[in-house]
Amino acid sequence: MVTTSMTPTALDRLIADLDRSIPAEALPPVSTGKHVAAVVGTTEGALAQDRYQRKGIPYTRIGSRIRYLRADVLAFLASNRVDGAR
C-alpha cells in the first residue's frame, strides 16, 4: 500500500472531495462488491482476492454477504493517493 504523508486534516479534505465527486447512486452508503468494483475500476474477483489476502479496501461481513461502507472506500482511495512527479 502506498501512503502519503498527509495530515489528518488534509486527508479529511481529500475524502470530502472524493465524496463530492462520486455520485451517491454509483456508490451507496453500504455497497456490494459489484458497486465498488465499478467505481474503483477493478473486478469483483480482484476484491475477493484482496479480502483473501487480508489487504485492500476494508469490508463488512453480514452473514455470508460482503458489503463495503462508502466511508471506508473513500478513506482507502484517499490514503492510497500518490502525487505525480513534480
pLDDT the model gives residue 22 = 77
Query: CA dihedral defined by 20, 26, 28, 31, rounded to 10 degrees?
Result: -130
Nearest CA-CA partner of 38 in 14, 51, 49, 22? 22
Q: What is the CATH number of domain 28-79?
A: 1.10.10
Contact 67, 55 (CB under 8 A): no
- Give the global pTM: 0.76
| Cβ–Cβ < 8 Å for 19, 76 | no
- CA pair distance 44, 48, nearest whole angstrom: 6
Q: Where are the domains of the chain?
A: 28-79
pLDDT score of 83: 79
What confidence tens digit (pLDDT) does each residue in 37-76 have? 999 999 999 999 999 999 999 999 999 999 999 999 999 9
